[in-house]
Structure 1
Amino acid sequence: MYNSKTNKSGWSEEEKAFQYRSYGKGELAALYLPDILQQSAVEQFNKWIDAAPGLRQRLLSTGMTSRSRRYTPAQVKLIVEALEEP
């Protein structure tokens, strides 16, 4: 699926839709918070996950641990359902 977007010069660009795939934690956090450093983005992203009712528990039930470095596609789907697409 593609969305059309007009750039500053007025030309149309094709932009890919968000992909449900495996993401590194920092990589996904940076998509949601692109204007801050990655470590700060991860810290804020974790706060959002904790604030979303039941999200942390649903992620843990999929096998995520505090040591996990990546989100699985199933975990990404749960996050997007709670926080919307980045």
Structure 2
Amino acid sequence: MKVTDYENEWRVRPYSKRELAVAYAPDITPASALNRFSSWLKHNKQLTRALERTGYTKRQQVFTSLQVELIFRYLGRP
């Protein structure tokens, strides 16, 4: 897959937390994927601070495009 194809597959746009969690961990249950994803966010202090500057709260269910861009920057694309 070319880089441009890869980037098009996971373009920056709003995503639900569940959607991203499952994308990063497709081989486990959605509930487990959400737990893992939340743990990654909690333990990646730089990402957490960057997300908080955009207004992110841990109860938020949908990430904005800006927040998704930050997640991709810190974690890479799924």
- Give TM-score, length-normalised by structure 2: 0.84
| Identical aligned residues as a percent | 36
Which ranges in structure 1 are unaligned for 5 or more consecutive residues?
4-15
CA distance in 2, matches of 1:66, 1:51: 13
The residue identity in structure 2 corresponding to 1:40 is S
Deviation at 1:53, TM superposition (A): 3.6
Looking at secondary structure, tell me which structure has more helix per residue.
Answer: 2
Which ranges in structure 2 are unaligned for 5 or more consecutive residues?
none
Looking at secondary structure, tell me which structure has more strand per residue.
Answer: 1
Higher relative contact order (Cα pairs below 8 Å, separated by 6+ residues): 2
- Give TM-score, length-normalised by structure 1: 0.77
RMSD (Å) for aligned C-alpha atoms: 1.4
Q: Which has the larger radius of gyration?
A: 1
Report runs of 4+ in structure 1 exceeding 4 Å deviation.
none
Instruction: Show CA shifts across 1:1-35 (max 9, x none).
Output: 436xxxxxxxxxxxx53111100100110000001
